[in-house]
Amino acid sequence: MAAAHTDFWALERHNRRQTVMLVAVFIALFMALGCGLDFVFHDLAIVDGALVGFPLVTLIALGFGIFQSLLSYYGGAALVLASVRARELTPDTPQHQMVLDVVREMALAARMPVPTAYLMDDPSPNAFATGRDPRHSVVCVTQGLVDTMDREEVQGVLGHEMAHVRDYDIRTMMMIAVLVAGIAMLADFVYRSMWYTGGVGGGGGRSGGGRDDDSGGNAGAMIGVLVVVLAVLAPFFAQLLAMAVSREREYLADAASVEFTRNPRALLRALERIAETESPLRNASRGTAHMFIVNPLQGARADDEGFFANLFSTHPPLGRRIERLRAMLNAAGGETPPGGAAAPAATPRG
């Protein structure tokens, strides 16, 4: 047990370092786009081989990047919940009360504060967790998950989400969601500005192009081309980064769900039930897709294998996750391990 806790602390430190690295990468992208605009607007220029001017837009982009980082850290959870139109879950039905009870059970199993539970009014079964740390964490389930899953399956899903909370995955994924949106917005602004100023190498900047010599003008034109390329690729690169970060965490969270519930069958049955649906979430977006337990933008059956399919997916293949859980169940002799989560027997939904 002590070794396991050591691994968890090591994973938390890794996630903290990765979050800092990701913020630095996104701020660098903000500054690169801003620096490109400085050349487009001729606030910066290369004259006689020397860089002259004042990087006004670069500094503005730096400030915007820092603001986005702070916003994602302190207000990211609220933004994510608002974007998916989630509301706080109340014990107004027996099913909702059951979910609240399971949230408390899984928090107790993980030895962590009880997260606030939210609900999405969507018929597709899915769930996610968000927040900046375990004391400010949120778990959100869809009405479809509540309607289609029994208590054992809900335990498996919420055990998975509690793993993301415990390992501080929620902070990294939340900040990525907000920063990806910021990159997309800034890149769109840069792209539009390029056309407004007359395109690559145009002379419509604030300071005019008179102070550039020929070599400086050519360098400015080259930088303009790079700015256009960066504006097009930055949102794509940010999205790929979000996908890669999400994929590597899902297997760990699946294993931790088994640890919390002491029942490999719980999450296995839940994922198999999710695999039966082809209905995407109505309020999901590419910016938040990496946060859900399964890809919310397409039917679960479209979660294909293969290098390119995995590269452009926010989640590892659902079939592979199910196979790993089956292997765990077989290793346990096909039975729930001793000391499994104390919960009422699963009651099938009507």
List pLDDT tens digits, range 197-242. Answer: 655 444 444 444 444 455 555 665 676 677 777 777 777 777 777 6
Domain of residue 22 covers 2-81+173-232
Mean pLDDT of 54-69: 90
The Cα–Cα gap between 77 and 167 comes to 17
3 state SS of 120 = strand
Buried b (16+ CB within 10 A) or exposed e, 24-62: eebbebbbbbbbbbbbbbbbbbbeeeeeebebebbeebb
Asked if the structure places residue 32 within a domain, the reply is yes
The token pair at 285 is 């977006």
86-88 vs 116-120, strand pairing mode: antiparallel
Asked if 166 contacts 112 with a C-beta cutoff of 8 angstroms, the reply is: yes
Asked if 179 contacts 241 with a C-beta cutoff of 8 angstroms, the reply is: no
The Cα–Cα gap between 208 and 188 comes to 23
The Cα–Cα gap between 276 and 11 comes to 33
Asked if the structure places residue 68 within a domain, the reply is yes
Asked if the structure places residue 156 within a domain, the reply is no
> What confidence score (pLDDT) does residue 343 get?
42
Percent of the chain with pLDDT over 90: 33
Number of separate domains in the chain: 1
Asked if the structure places residue 49 within a domain, the reply is yes
The Cα–Cα gap between 79 and 137 comes to 13
Asked if the structure places residue 324 within a domain, the reply is no
Q: pTM to 2 decimals? A: 0.77
Which candidate, 102, 165, 97, 101, places its Cα nearest to that of 128?
165
Q: Which residues contact 129 (CB under 8 A, 6 or more apart)?
A: 115, 137, 138, 139, 140, 161, 162, 164, 165, 169, 170, 291
3 state SS of 250 = helix
Asked if the structure places residue 267 within a domain, the reply is no
pLDDT tens profile 333-342 = 665 544 444 4
Asked if the structure places residue 60 within a domain, the reply is yes
Asked if the structure places residue 209 within a domain, the reply is yes
Q: Which residues are catalytic?
A: 161
Asked if 314 contacts 126 with a C-beta cutoff of 8 angstroms, the reply is: no
